[in-house]
A and B are shown apart, each in its own frame.
Chain A
Amino acid sequence: MTIIYALIALGVLALVFGAVLGFAAVRFKVEADPLVEQIDAILPQTQCGQCGYPGCRPYAEAIANGDEINKCPPGGESTIKELANLMGVEPKPLDDAHGQEDVKKVAYIREDECIGCTKCIHACPVDAIVGATRQMHTIIIDECTGCDLCVDPCPVDCIDMVPLKPKAESWKWDLESIPVKVVE
């Protein structure tokens, strides 16, 4: 008789826990893979596709699924380090097959040579080029991620990648110091 009670008790417990877990699964459902979000937040969002994926998010998904973390040249060493921290793997040097880390650049259209073909506009992943058919195009520097994707489609080769000029606000101190000892 006791064994029946025991079985009933266990069965009831199992049902209760099942109900609680089921409710929790519905109530506290995680919308997307949070790991992908975290990786995506680390990537530089240039959407340049140098990693071989069409944008930063697809690459983030690929990393979450076990792809290498060293395929992002715009992010460079610091991004690899952060990704290594997040993924719990050893940082690796940047994979040369995908390009090399470079100084920050933005695209610049030589406006008198532009023929207004709109090809670069279609190529820009962040809509940083303004212009219309047969009208001169120009680049919004603040929005340009320097992804390089507009350079190739240009039929007249009028887009240059120009290094960003350092400004006083973005300037980094060098270590040349002023000694503060005063000899008496």
Chain B
Amino acid sequence: METLLERIQQGHFWDFPGGIHPPTRKELTSQHPIAEVPLPPVLYVPIKQHIGTIGQILVSKGEHVKKGQALTNGLNHLDVAVHAPTSGVVQEIKEHISAHPSALPELCICIQPDGLDEWREREPWADYLNYSKEQLLRRLQLNGVAGLGGAGFPTHIKSATNAEIEFLIINAVECEPYITADDLLMQEYPEAIIQGIEILQHMTGAKHVLIGIEDDKPLAVTAIKAAVGVERGFHVCELPTQYPSGGEKQLVQILTGREVPKGGIPADIGIVMQNVGTAYAVSRAIVADQPLIHRVVTMTGESIHQPKNVWALLGTPVSHLLDHVDFRPGLNQRLIMGGPMMGFTLPSPDVPITKISNCILAPSNQELPPESPEMPCIRCGECAIVCPATLLPQQLQWYAKAKDYEKLESYNLADCIECGACSYVCPSDIPLVQYYRVAKAEIKTQQQEKQKAEQAKLRFEARKARLERDKQERLEKQRKASEARQSTSEDSNKIEAAISRVKESATDKVAAAIARAKAKRQPTEDESPDNSEVIAAREARKQQARDYKESKQTGTEPESSPTDKKAAVAAAIARAKAKKAKLAEQSEATEQSKDNSSENASEQDDRKAKIAAAIARAKAKKAQQEDAESLGEENVEPKSNATDDKKAKVAAAIERAKTKKAAKEAEANAQGEAETQASDLSPEEERKAKIAAAVARAKAKKAQKDNDQGKN
């Protein structure tokens, strides 16, 4: 039984399940040397070009930066710095369309090159093997090295592994059709690549180095073999061309026969894999202190009439690169970033090149015909045969369409490497990979939401516990306070009792004294009551009776009646006068009291006036609102002929917006006035003005609510 190493030396490799053999079309670009491209007018450097977190931005608008100057820092472990690709001026820091299938804008630092291409100070480490692992890792992070293979995983994290590493595998397979960026890099810079591999081996402590290259790159194989030499002991492994042998798990399987466990990383089985482009970037970063600011990009496809590889500065818009390769767009021209199997269509040619963009494909319509309509699955099983991860693509497809995420997980959707082999062989043109991508994204969001829900629940429960605790504390406080009160009230009861006793005795004595005094005074006071009226009345009655007697005695003489009448009239007049006098007296008294009270009232008058003014204001506002309402209604009326609910809602919304706007304007005016009236108001007054504004807003809200309620 030959050992693993012997097998590798003899070139006996394993195979992975499935795989396809699409036309490679690499001859379009593999014979042309890597070309330089003039500086673009503006570079859009995205601050995030890797997996992980973003560092803090170090530059500001208008600042002059030198080539290789860090634009973001790498303080966090997951940060990877980005650098100025050339010297120039930071024009802007703004969101720009991103090199992501979503094309969602991402924060970019826009640099206008000054054409000098002036480097920052560099500190080359030619004797790199004398530096410690930590120093080298830190330098990689600060120089922004991330995996150039496609995922952009930070190299300093991958290389920091503490596991015992048996194999360092350099992935130079480049199995995707069309792409020749790594091929050309190996042809032109084999020494630098070998240097990078040495550094990587030094950092990871790998016992053996395997360099995997597909056998369709004979020039690259010879170049690398020559650079490796004999004494280094690196194994250059020529592999049969097959897609997707460049997948991490697939390459591990081909070279070592080992399988990366589900959910694990190659380091779990003693393997670290790096892309060949990364090895080159590592050597540049460590030896020459050149941060990762450019990369090789394959410009290919039949719409490009000078297909070739170019050195593209990171942040160069794709359109600028296309200008230098004789790009002649056809009808419905598509631009694909990445290869035809795993790439994505660019939404716009303004997308900048990032660390992970290895190819721009501009195919003609004959080359990559527009998508044909999807037909029903005929259950031929081709997809399951070619799947390199031995999944069941058609089953996955059914569940992805049914959105049955549990089933998808049980069918190991997470192990799908999205290589696109299943879509390639599908006779029904079902875009299987797209279904999986959608489903994967959905599963990811659901997991995130679940996590968030869990967090929300924890917070909710913590809050509930806190409120309960506060309540208990409050009750406890109240209880203590009442206890304290009771204990003090017992004391005070005694005191009160004592006081009352003293008082009682005192009042008793006083009362007795008063009573005595009263008793003394009473006899004199008894005469004092004013009985004159009664007496007068009695006198008058006596007089009447006498008169009556006289008249009887005289025998009802008519002459006597006038005097009788006269007396009666006089009495009546007197009574009336007395009454009048009394009334006058009373009215005088009330007038006096009124005068007293009116003095108090004058103070209130101000307030009343104010209230009145406020009411007036409120009324004015209401009227204004009604105006606005009626306006709104008028505006919407022609539209709201239909009985749509929606329209009514829209109308309501417009009204609300208008009233709000009016309120805001009023507020703004008020504020403006306040400001103009007293620009040097004391802060307190300013605050008052603010409060007034807030009150106004609150009132407006209330009014609006009432309106809404009225509507409802």
Whether, in the assembled complex, B603 has its beta carbon less than 8 Å from a beta carbon of chain A, the answer is no
| Cα–Cα distance between A172 and B439 once the two chains are bound (Å) | 9
A44 touches B449 (CB 8 A): yes
Asked if B453 and A177 sit within 8 Å, CB to CB, the answer is: no
Bound-state CA distance A56–B459 (Å) is: 13
A168 within 8 A of partner (CB): yes
Q: Which of A40, A143, A167, A180 contacts B420 (CB 8 A)?
A: A180
Identify the stretch in A8-16, A19-27, A86-94, A121-129 within 8 Å (CB) of chain B at 4 or more residues: A121-129
Task: Check B424 against A180 for contact (C-beta < 8 Å).
Answer: yes
Please give, as numbers and ranges, the residues of chain A lying within 8 Å of B366 by CB-CB distance.
Answer: 183
A168 to B107, CA, bound (A): 12
B313 within 8 A of A: no
B456 in contact with A177 (CB, 8 Å): no
User: Does A184 make an interface contact (CB < 8 A)?
Assistant: yes
A172 partner, pick from B343, B429, B442, beta carbons under 8 A: B442
- Minimum CB distance partner of B442 in chain A: A172
Residue among A125, A128, A180 having the largest count of chain B Cβ atoms under 10 Å: A180
Task: Please tell me if the beta carbons of B344 and A178 are within 8 angstroms of each other in the complex.
Answer: yes
Decide if A5 is an interface residue (CB 8 Å cutoff): no
Residues of A with C-beta under 8 A to B441: 171-173
Q: Is the CB of A179 within 8 A of B698?
A: no
Cβ contact within 8 Å between B102 and A47 = no
Contact indicator A155/B701 (Cβ below 8 Å): yes
Contact call B701/A156, Cβ cutoff below 8 A: yes
* In contact, B367 and A183 (Cβ under 8 angstroms): yes
The answer for the CA separation of A182 and B341 in the assembled complex, in Å, is 10
Contact A181 B368 (CB under 8 A): yes
B247 interface residue (CB < 8 Å to A): no
Q: Is A97 an interface residue (CB 8 A)?
A: no
B104 contacts A46, C-beta separation under 8 Å: no
Residues of A within 8 A of B424 (CB): 180-181
Contact A177 B371 (CB under 8 A): yes
A62 CB-CB contact with B under 8 Å: no
Identity of the chain B residue whose Cβ is nearest the Cβ of A172 in the assembled complex: B441
CB-defined contacts of B698 to chain A, threshold 8 Å:
155-156
Beta-carbon contact of A179 and B369 below 8 Å:
yes
A179 smallest CB distance to B (angstroms) = 5
* B694 with A156: CB separation less than 8 A: yes
B334 cross-chain contacts in A, Cβ below 8 A: 178
The answer, yes or no, to whether A175 is at the interface (CB within 8 Å) is yes
Taking CB atoms, residues of chain A closer than 8 Å to B621 are: none
Contact B442 A179 (CB under 8 A): no
Partner among B340, B435, B691 whose Cβ is within 8 Å of the Cβ of A175: B435
Report whether A126 and B463 are in contact in the complex, using a CB–CB cutoff of 8 Å.
Answer: yes
For the complex formed, measure the closest distance between the CB of B52 and the CB atoms of chain A, giving whole angstroms. 11
The listed residue (B367, B438, B456, B691) touching A45 by CB distance below 8 A is B456
Q: Is A166 an interface residue (CB 8 A)?
A: yes
Any A CB within 8 A of the CB of B486: no
Give residues 22-59 of A contacting B (CB, 8 Å).
40, 43-47, 55-56
Question: Within 8 Å CB of A155, what residues of B?
Answer: 694, 697-698, 701
Report whether B456 and A126 are in contact in the complex, using a CB–CB cutoff of 8 Å.
yes
User: CA of A125 to CA of B429 in the docked complex: distance in angstroms?
Assistant: 50
Distance A174 CA – B698 CA, assembled complex (angstroms):
45
B482 at the interface (CB under 8 A from A): no
Binding site of B, secondary structure by majority: helix, strand, loop or mixed? Answer: helix
Which chain B residues border A173 with CB–CB below 8 Å?
Answer: 101, 434, 437-438, 441
Given contacts A178-B336, A179-B368, A182-B177, contact A126 B100 (CB under 8 A): no
User: Please, which residue of chain B has its CB at the minimum distance from the CB of A54?
Assistant: B464
- Taking CB as reference atom, which chain A residue is nearest B22? A182
Asked whether, in the complex, the Cβ of B104 is within 8 Å of the Cβ of A166, the reply is yes
A123–B343 Cα distance when bound, in Å, is 48
CB distance from B630 to the nearest CB of A (A): 23
Q: Tell me the residues in window 425-474 of chain B with beta carbons closer than 8 Å to chain A beta carbons.
A: 429, 431, 433-435, 437-438, 441-442, 444-446, 448-449, 452-457, 459-460, 462-463
Chain A, 118-147, contact with B by CB distance < 8 Å: what is the 0/1 string? 000000011110000000000000010100
Determine if A65 is an interface residue (Cβ-Cβ < 8 Å).
no
Query: B195 at the A/B interface (Cβ < 8 Å)?
Result: no
Interface check B370, CB cutoff 8 A: yes
- Which residues of A are found within 8 Å of B438, using beta-carbon distances? 172-175
A127 touches B462 (CB 8 A): yes
Say if the beta carbon of A113 comes within 8 Å of chain B: yes
**Beyond A177-B371, A177-B431, A180-B22, is A45–B345 a contact (Cβ under 8 Å)?**
no
B371 touches A182 (CB 8 A): no
Query: How far does the alpha carbon of A15 sit from the alpha carbon of B367 in the complex, in Å?
Result: 84
A115 interfacial contact with B, CB 8 Å:
yes
Give bound CA distance, A167 to B106, whole Å.
9
Q: Write the nearest CB–CB distance from B27 to chain A, whole angstroms.
A: 14
Residues of A within 8 A of B23 (CB): 182, 184
CB distance from A114 to the nearest CB of B (A): 9
Q: Pick the contact of B459 from A44, A128, A157 — CB < 8 Å? A: A128
Given contacts A173-B434, A182-B22, contact A126 B701 (CB under 8 A): no
Most buried by B among A113, A170, A172, A182: A182
Smallest beta-carbon distance B422→chain A, Å = 10
Partner of B448, one of A55, A170, A181: A170
Contacting pair B694 A175 (CB below 8 A): no
A174–B441 alpha-carbon span in the complex (Å): 10
Q: Are A157's CB and B463's CB within 8 A?
A: no
Given contacts A173-B441, A175-B431, contact A167 B104 (CB under 8 A): yes
* A179 to B694 CA separation, bound complex (whole angstroms): 59
A44 CB contacts on chain B under 8 angstroms: 449, 453
In chain B, positions 369-413 with a C-beta closer than 8 Å to chain A are 369-372
CB distance from B299 to the nearest CB of A (A): 18
Say whether B460 contacts A126, CB under 8 Å. Answer: yes
Return chain B residues, CB-CB under 8 Å to A180: 22, 340-341, 368, 420, 423-424
A176 on interface, CB distance cutoff 8 Å: yes
**Chain B residues whose C-beta falls within 8 Å of the C-beta of A184 in the assembled complex:** 23
A115 CA to B691 CA in the complex, in Å?
8
- Among residues of A, the one whose C-beta sits closest to the C-beta of B696 is A156
Give the distance in Å from the alpha carbon of A43 to the alpha carbon of B690 in the complex: 42
The answer to whether B368 touches A182 (Cβ under 8 A) is: yes
Docked CA distance A159–B694 (Å): 14
- What chain B residues lie within 8 Å of A179 (beta carbons)? 368-372, 429, 431
Residue of A nearest to B700 (CB): A157
Within 8 Å by CB of A182, from B367, B435, B701, lies: B367
Q: Which residues of A contact B368 (CB under 8 A)?
A: 178-182
A176, B345: Cβ atoms closer than 8 Å? yes
Min CB gap A19→B, angstroms:
39
Which one, A125, A166, A183, contacts B369 given CB within 8 A?
A183
Distance in Å: Cβ of B592 to nearest Cβ of chain A: 49
Does residue B25 face the partner (Cβ distance < 8 Å to A)? yes
- Contact partner, A171, options B104, B452, B691, B697, Cβ 8 Å: B104
- Determine the chain B residues whose CB is within 8 A of the CB of A143 once the complex forms: 455-456, 459
Bound: A56/B464 CA distance, A: 13
CB-contact partner of A157 in B444, B454, B691, B701, under 8 A: B701
Q: Is the CB of A177 within 8 A of B433?
A: yes
Closest residue of chain A to B339 (Cβ to Cβ) is A180
Give the 9 A-B CB pairs with smallest separation, nearest first: A177-B431, A45-B453, A171-B102, A173-B437, A172-B441, A126-B459, A45-B456, A156-B697, A45-B457
Task: Give me 11 other A-B pairs in contact (C-beta within 8 A), A46-B453, A172-B438 excluded.
Answer: A45-B454, A56-B460, A127-B463, A143-B456, A174-B434, A175-B435, A175-B438, A177-B431, A179-B368, A179-B369, A182-B340
29 A-B Cβ contacts within 8 A?
A40-B457, A45-B452, A45-B453, A45-B460, A46-B456, A47-B456, A55-B460, A78-B446, A115-B691, A126-B460, A128-B459, A155-B698, A157-B697, A157-B700, A170-B448, A171-B100, A171-B101, A171-B104, A172-B438, A172-B445, A173-B434, A173-B437, A173-B441, A176-B434, A178-B344, A179-B369, A182-B368, A183-B366, A183-B369
